[in-house]
Chain A
């Protein structure tokens, strides 16, 4: 039993995972598109390389983003990742420095205590031993938290934790076994030889006092080596593959590679870089407000990884983007889901264990058969106009917003043409969200034609859904502006005279405008100009979805109502006089979910307009109202 044979499982596992990682990353690199290959090559010899190293240190080792979310959760991840990293680094130094010779094989560093049982009796070695024990204690404290988290996720600020596949489970158990078995193995050896520091030394001495330490020690060294070996062998087929893949992802992202619109090496790298940490599950409103627990991004990615039929999961998502905002790995979850929505039907892969080790599995692109056709759309004649106003389908369901916009533009003396006054054509975004890009293109071409012919310089829209698609998928000369941006421009120009409304209001960032297009400041500037703006507990990038999202094709109206009610409750916590939003769809949804008055930002501004001079009965009162409450 006292032979060195026990290092074999560790060695096999280590060399397997090293070779496997190299082969797989080479295949991934070869499968990149030509331009992405160039990006990555350029990234390796420039600034992005240093940025990547910094990011790897801050995120992959220290887990700064998770720390920000919850310090205890961050500590757990940091102690395991950074602690293990330090243990390997200092273990290697220890073996090199105190070992018989320099440049030892990795097993000599990992099992240093076995090969040097008497080591660390005095001098510098004694201090070094304290440090090594400290590192082990650091990791074990994190492990304890991990075990606690698995059984009571709420303690770590998590509402839910992920469900595992069986390979994940075995990998998890072997990971959990690694450090306690190291502790016991080292302790027994130290106990038998009277060496070791505060942790291994003391524990070893007390164990040796009533147990035959020298005989027991090899069993724990075997366990330690087996746990490591098993972990390495299961790494590529478990969620822990994220450990090596995340490094590659960081290099790729910092080199400027993006998800694009079809499956590629990069989407596969992103798929494997997901650690299933479950942060996306905690923030998902579908989970905590509507009680749907199986469609979150972690499960979506897991389905992709295991080549499952995930059509139902893919479709059932609000596309609000909150998960992407909090993802500690920075996976582009929205674009990934859209790629998958564009796919036609495919069979469930039912990957066996061997299949999961396959080095490349880029999902085939089966394009959906087009179902819609808009050949009936007649070409429209358009008048020339500098400023074009496109209300959007949804805004036609909230006519008060259109009335308000007309008032504002008239008051500011803006000469504009109302593009869809008689009802226009949809912008195409809803079709894109349903994975029907090709059909959406027809609508985009139709609308683009009208906009180009009008010669407009500014295109103002009242709907964030249209706004996003106008900006991203239309090729236009005109500057696209959401009406909140446009009103802000009018105020800054000084062409809009507004009173001040003595109302406390709270602002809701629509998903497509805020996270989708990065417009946070303009609406706030406009609101603060005319009313008192309260802060919401979840705003800006962490703003809630109203539940009405067109991103979800399958969600029932009952579940939508639950999400809307929850979001409205959170927003109106400080009992504001009005709930302001900048999206007609959010307005419609919230109106049914809360008793607080819900208005669009345009309506708020219209209320602050001075009363027209010819309308009021007494001319004298006009001035007072102008300064006080406007006509609202």
Chain B
């Protein structure tokens, strides 16, 4: 069965669910998890995103940021990570005790290092 037929069969590729292993880069994830292990505790409830100060002014979304880091999607992460104000509201609402401020700070640092080929 070729691809064309498969598409007709009722399966299609949902872009947002696709992990492209050609561009995926795990370095940022490793950098963040090593320095802020509580990152692993996140179960993506989205509480942080609901309360976010920056999120009221722009499309910044900590939960999405999490997904980008986990999947190693560097390109969208690069822009996303610069928007956080580090105000710390997300820290207080997180039910899992993830040190969210440090996750963002470390991700931002990792991105900068990646740009300078230091990672």
Q: Are A425 and B101 in contact (CB under 8 A)?
A: no
Contacts A378-B57, A426-B53 known; A553 to B105 CB distance under 8 Å?
yes
Docked complex Cα distance between A436 and B112 (Å)? 14
Q: Which of B38, B56, B86, B111 contacts A434 (CB 8 A)?
A: B86
Instruction: Name the residue of chain B whose CB is nearest to the CB of A394.
Output: B89
Docked complex Cα distance between A373 and B83 (Å)? 6
Tell me which residues across on chain A come within 8 A of B86, comparing CB atoms: 372, 426, 430-431, 434, 436, 550
Tell me which residues across on chain A come within 8 A of B108, comparing CB atoms: 371-372
A97 to chain B, nearest CB (A): 66
Docked complex Cα distance between A426 and B101 (Å)? 14
Tell me which residues across on chain A come within 8 A of B46, comparing CB atoms: none
Docked complex Cα distance between A3 and B108 (Å)? 70
Q: Is A374 an interface residue (CB 8 A)?
A: yes
Q: Are A397 and B83 in contact (CB under 8 A)?
A: no
Q: Is A393 an interface residue (CB 8 A)?
A: yes
Tell me which residues across on chain B come within 8 A of A585, comparing CB atoms: 88, 92
Instruction: Name the residue of chain A whose CB is nearest to the CB of B79.
Output: A373
Tell me which residues across on chain B come within 8 A of A424, comparing CB atoms: 53
Instruction: Name the residue of chain B whose CB is nearest to the CB of A376.
Output: B58
Contact with B along A483-514 (1 / 0, CB 8 A): 00000000000000000000000000000000
Docked complex Cα distance between A423 and B101 (Å)? 19
Binds B, one of A83-91, A295-303, A554-562: A554-562
Instruction: Name the residue of chain A whose CB is nearest to the CB of B89.
Output: A393
Q: Is B76 an interface residue (CB 8 A)?
A: no
Q: Which of B87, B89, B111 contacts A371 (CB 8 A)?
A: B111
Instruction: Name the residue of chain B whose CB is nearest to the CB of A428.
Output: B85
Q: In chain B, residues 32-89, which have Cβ atoms closer than 8 Å to a Cβ of chain A?
A: 36, 38, 51, 53-54, 56-58, 81-89
Q: Are A426 and B85 in contact (CB under 8 A)?
A: yes
Most buried by A among B56, B86, B109: B86
Q: Is B99 an interface residue (CB 8 A)?
A: yes
Instruction: Name the residue of chain B whose CB is nearest to the CB of A435.
Output: B105
Contacts A553-B105, A554-B102 known; A394 to B85 CB distance under 8 Å?
no
Q: Is A333 an interface residue (CB 8 A)?
A: no
Q: Is A443 an interface residue (CB 8 A)?
A: yes
Q: Is A457 an interface residue (CB 8 A)?
A: no
Q: Are A371 and B82 in contact (CB under 8 A)?
A: yes
Contacts A557-B97, A558-B97 known; A425 to B85 CB distance under 8 Å?
yes
Q: Are B83 and A443 in contact (CB under 8 A)?
A: no
A487 to chain B, nearest CB (A): 25
Q: Which of A422, A430, A548 contacts B87 (CB 8 A)?
A: A430
Instruction: Name the residue of chain A whose CB is nearest to the CB of B60.
Output: A376
Instruction: Name the residue of chain B whose CB is nearest to the CB of A553.
Output: B102
Docked complex Cα distance between A553 and B104 (Å)? 10
Tell me which residues across on chain B come within 8 A of A373, comparing CB atoms: 82-83
Q: Are A423 and B105 in contact (CB under 8 A)?
A: no
Docked complex Cα distance between A553 and B108 (Å)? 14
Q: Are A550 and B88 in contact (CB under 8 A)?
A: yes
Question: Interface residue count for A (Cβ, 8 Å)?
Answer: 32
Q: Are B81 and A430 in contact (CB under 8 A)?
A: no
Docked complex Cα distance between A578 and B83 (Å)? 39
Q: In chain A, residues 407-425, which have Cβ atoms closer than 8 Å to a Cβ of chain B?
A: 422-425
Instruction: Name the residue of chain B whose CB is nearest to the CB of A584.
Output: B92
Instruction: Name the residue of chain A whose CB is nearest to the CB of B38.
Output: A556
Q: Which of B38, B51, B81 contacts A397 (CB 8 A)?
A: B51
B86 to chain A, nearest CB (A): 5
Q: Are B112 and A369 in contact (CB under 8 A)?
A: yes
Q: Are A371 and B57 in contact (CB under 8 A)?
A: no
Instruction: Name the residue of chain B whose CB is nearest to the CB of A380.
Output: B57
A450 to chain B, nearest CB (A): 13
Q: Is A149 an interface residue (CB 8 A)?
A: no
Instruction: Name the residue of chain A whose CB is nearest to the CB of B93.
Output: A397
Q: Is A573 an interface residue (CB 8 A)?
A: no
Q: Are B56 and A423 in contact (CB under 8 A)?
A: yes
Docked complex Cα distance between A431 and B58 (Å)? 18
A143 to chain B, nearest CB (A): 45
Q: Is A617 an interface residue (CB 8 A)?
A: no
A546 to chain B, nearest CB (A): 12
Q: Is A441 an interface residue (CB 8 A)?
A: no
Instruction: Name the residue of chain B whose CB is nearest to the CB of A396.
Output: B89
Docked complex Cα distance between A376 and B101 (Å)? 20
Q: Is A193 an interface residue (CB 8 A)?
A: no
Tell me which residues across on chain B come within 8 A of A393, comparing CB atoms: 53, 87-89
Tell me which residues across on chain A come within 8 A of B109, comparing CB atoms: 371
Tell me which residues across on chain B come within 8 A of A434, comparing CB atoms: 86, 101, 105
Tell me which residues across on chain B come within 8 A of A371, comparing CB atoms: 81-82, 105, 108-109, 111-112
Docked complex Cα distance between A376 and B83 (Å)? 8
Contacts A371-B81, A373-B82, A423-B56 known; A556 to B99 CB distance under 8 Å?
yes
Tell me which residues across on chain B come within 8 A of A5, comparing CB atoms: none
Q: In chain A, residues 538-566, which have Cβ atoms closer than 8 Å to a Cβ of chain B?
A: 548, 550, 553-558
Docked complex Cα distance between A423 and B60 (Å)? 15
Instruction: Name the residue of chain B whose CB is nearest to the CB of A550.
Output: B88
Tell me which residues across on chain A come within 8 A of B36, comparing CB atoms: 554
Listed by A's residue number, 16 A-B pairs whose Cβ atoms lie within 8 Å are A371-B82, A372-B83, A372-B86, A373-B82, A394-B88, A396-B89, A425-B85, A426-B85, A426-B86, A426-B87, A434-B86, A434-B101, A553-B102, A553-B105, A554-B102, A557-B38
- Please provide the 9 A-B residue pairs with the shortest distance between their CB atoms, ordered closest to farther: A557-B97, A371-B108, A426-B85, A426-B87, A376-B58, A423-B56, A393-B87, A373-B82, A430-B86
Using A372-B85, A423-B56, A430-B85 as known contacts, list a sample of 8 further A-B pairs with CB atoms less than 8 Å apart, ordered by residue number in A.
A372-B84, A376-B83, A426-B86, A434-B86, A553-B99, A557-B38, A585-B88, A588-B92
